[in-house]
Amino acid sequence: MRGLLLGRMQPVHEGHLEVIKIILKEVDEVIIGIGSAQLSHTLKDPFTAGERVMMLTKALSENDIPASKYYIIPIQDIECNSLWVAHTKMLTPPFDYVYSGNPLVQRLFIEDRYKVTAPPLFNRKIYSGTEVRRRMLEGEDWESLVPKSVVDVIKEIDGIGRIKHLSKEEVR
């Protein structure tokens, strides 16, 4: 059996890792769909799909999850919600279960007769992309909310410099 987990992963944090481990107790393989793959270089979506693939690959390896257990698939947004499940299926290996806490994602898969589960949330107040990005911008401790390998990737690409630069106002 295969399960699909969807998230923008801006950036990958410990909550994502925890839920992936839970899913792998229920299914043989997990497909991780990186949503809004076309977005990057904004405060809400700072990292490219390729950067997010790198974060996830290294974080899964750091957590001793073998590459044979997962597929990482970037998925661009499309304008039509009614076609989005078909669009996602076009890009992913076949799957039996969908894991998502997002009501729109849940609804679209349910209408296509998929089994949808809302996975448990771990320490949601701090294990949240919004909180990680807020701390990055404010200069607070964000490193403890993400796997060590994700810290390394963000340093390699100067992710903090990027977020702080994007938050500036244009000088006129």
Cβ 92 to ligand ATP shortest distance, Å: 16
Angle at which helices 148-156 and 49-62 cross, to 10°: 150
Nearer residue to ligand ATP within complex by CB, 71 or 122: 122
Distance of alpha carbon 154 from alpha carbon 158, whole angstroms: 6
Nearer residue to ligand ATP within complex by CB, 134 or 172: 134
How many residues does the structure list for the chain? 172
Q: Which residue has the tokens 């839970």?
A: 22
Cβ 172 to ligand ATP shortest distance, Å: 31
Cβ 127 to ligand ATP shortest distance, Å: 3
Nearer residue to ligand ATP within complex by CB, 9 or 30: 9
Distance of alpha carbon 127 from alpha carbon 48, whole angstroms: 20
Interface residues toward ligand ATP, by CB under 6 A: 7-10, 15-16, 18-19, 99-102, 119, 121-124, 127-130
Nearer residue to ligand ATP within complex by CB, 74 or 119: 119
Cβ 90 to ligand ATP shortest distance, Å: 21
Nearest in space to 32 (alpha carbons), one of 78, 91, 84: 91
Distance of alpha carbon 83 from alpha carbon 65, whole angstroms: 32
Cβ 13 to ligand ATP shortest distance, Å: 6
Nearer residue to ligand ATP within complex by CB, 78 or 172: 78
Asked if the peptide bond before residue 74 counts as cis, ω within 30 degrees of 0, the response is: no
Can you name the residues that pair with 99 across neighbouring β-strands?
Answer: 5, 117
